Structure 1
Amino acid sequence: MARVDESDRHIAMPQHPTGAGVLVLAGSSGRIETDRADLFARHGIRAHAIRWFGGRGQRPVPHEVPLELFVDEIALLRDSCDRVAVLGTSFGAEAALLTACRTTLDAVIAVAPTSVVWPGMLDGSWSSHWTEDGVPLPWVPFVADWSATNDPPEFRGLYAQSLDRHGTEAARIPVERIAGDVLLVVGEDDRVWPSGRFADEIVARRAAAGLATDVRRHPLAGHRVPFPGEPVAQGGRRMARGGSPAADAELGALALGAVLARVLGTTRPG
């Protein structure tokens, strides 16, 4: 099994368990989302927040990370929980959606999602963010002639142009395979990548398969979405992320009730 080392896992245990559990995944920062896990625990949800790259025995960067890492962590949660969900942000949302396509989950929550698989670089070589059975998943290559025109740089245009030129069916996340609830949390002013466009593509793909998708949006929010009761994330690569502290917080407050409902199974998207 692709187990996470104990030093790279934070388990938040609820004082009054509901039987629900959630795997919490950060994005490209590589941090362990301890505050978010603790927030879930305050609502009766067992939460596993893990580091999925840069940890002990792990890939040093988001480059050919085995999806089995997440599938096996879900299996650990299943051992102690009646209902299991996964929540990921940005690259973590990419992992969450791909994991939900491959194992049984009651819900997946993708904050600042993507509809396709993207590449990472290690030692000068580009490859997929993810592998399955040791084989890299198909990904969308970046366009070679793009350059940032803002300072700090906005990468939204890079992702949009790359998808327009090089997007393939093989690189698309097969979200129509997800049987559980799907909730997307989207700031339309996301300057990292066009998560609003990606969300629309996810909704359309699932709708074509007769599946509903719940989307919570804010027109002025950006890439980072803090939930009430947790600090605003810091660190990571220097870049423009869009939004504003007020708008980002508004989206977090708008979304939290829906997030908890999906994890706990108290309502279904409609």
Structure 2
Amino acid sequence: VIVIGQSKGGEAALLLTNYMRSAVTIALVPSCYAFQGLPAEFTLESFTNRKSSWSFQGKELPYIKFYFDREIVKEIMAGNYCTCYEASIEKNGNEDAFLRVDGYTGKILLISEENDRYWPSRAMSEQLVKRSGNRENMRHISMKLDGHYLMNYEESAGEIVKYLEEYLAGKR
């Protein structure tokens, strides 16, 4: 089984390493934390009903609550969401929300974006590798593409195919 996810899906793919067996997990522009769930509408009021993005067996998984102030709202209005995530980690940090992959026996490919304006995927991917006791099974590639949605690019898709080919060649 190969699990692949992008953005919040990358967060989910990394969480799944604790709940299911897979040979490979590929997380594109992932987070290193589980964050508060995103509301259907982006208004300040919609963020007051806080709950985790994820649950298991009906129980919320630990998460980091969003933090806002005037500067962060200005950044969001300008299309830069990174400040919100960075401030949320700093102000509302919850170590239990860190996405631990230490017990995972499969391979992990992290592909982050240096120019990611949604969340700091490169820094968060670096934290995943740095803090993991499973580094020998991880590879992090940081790309210089424009945006957050790496599945739209041949370069990132090519890195995934190359990684899977290397993995399959090692299995023969």
Question: TM-score higher than 0.5 here?
Answer: yes
Question: What TM-score do you get using the length of structure 1 for normalisation?
Answer: 0.55
State the 1:127 CA deviation: 0.3
Structure 1 counterpart SS, 2:51: strand
Contact 1:119 1:129 (C-alpha < 8 Å) held by counterparts: yes
Structure 1 counterpart SS, 2:2: strand
Contact 1:203 1:212 (C-alpha < 8 Å) held by counterparts: no
- CA offsets 1:186-228 (integer angstroms, 9 cap, x no match): 111111000001101110122x4564311122134431113xx
Structure 1 partner of 2:98: 172
Contact 1:87 1:93 (C-alpha < 8 Å) held by counterparts: yes
Q: Distance in 2 between matches of 1:254 and 1:209?
A: 21
Contact 1:175 1:205 (C-alpha < 8 Å) held by counterparts: no
Counterpart of 1:266 (choices 149, 169, 172) is: 169
Structure 1 counterpart SS, 2:137: coil
- CA offsets 1:48-76 (integer angstroms, 9 cap, x no match): xxxxxxxxxxxxxxxxxxxxxxxxxxxxx
The change in CA–CA distance for 1:127 and 1:185 in structure 2 (over 3 A counts) is same
- CA offsets 1:75-101 (integer angstroms, 9 cap, x no match): xxxxxxxxx110000111111111111
State the 1:159 CA deviation: 0.6
Does 1:94 pair with 2:94? no
Question: What TM-score do you get using the length of structure 2 for normalisation?
Answer: 0.83
Counterpart of 1:126 (choices 42, 50, 55) is: 50
Larger Rg: 1
Contact 1:183 1:259 (C-alpha < 8 Å) held by counterparts: no
State the 1:259 CA deviation: 4.0
Greater fraction of residues in helix: 2
Amino acid paired to 2:112: V
Structure 2 partner of 1:184: 110
Unmatched tracts of structure 2, length 5 or more: 41-45
Amino acid paired to 1:266: A
Structure 2 counterpart SS, 1:119: coil
Q: Distance in 1 between matches of 2:29 and 2:96?
A: 21
Structure 2 partner of 1:200: 126
Overall identity of the aligned pairs, in %: 26
- When structure 1 is superposed on structure 2, of 142-151 and 180-189 the one drifting more is 142-151
Q: Distance in 2 between matches of 1:199 and 1:130?
A: 20
State the 1:153 CA deviation: 1.6
Q: Distance in 2 between matches of 1:210 and 1:85?
A: 19
- CA offsets 1:1-44 (integer angstroms, 9 cap, x no match): xxxxxxxxxxxxxxxxxxxxxxxxxxxxxxxxxxxxxxxxxxxx
Amino acid paired to 1:219: K
Structure 2 counterpart SS, 1:88: strand
CA RMSD of superposed structures (Å): 2.2
Unmatched tracts of structure 1, length 5 or more: 1-83, 227-231, 233-247
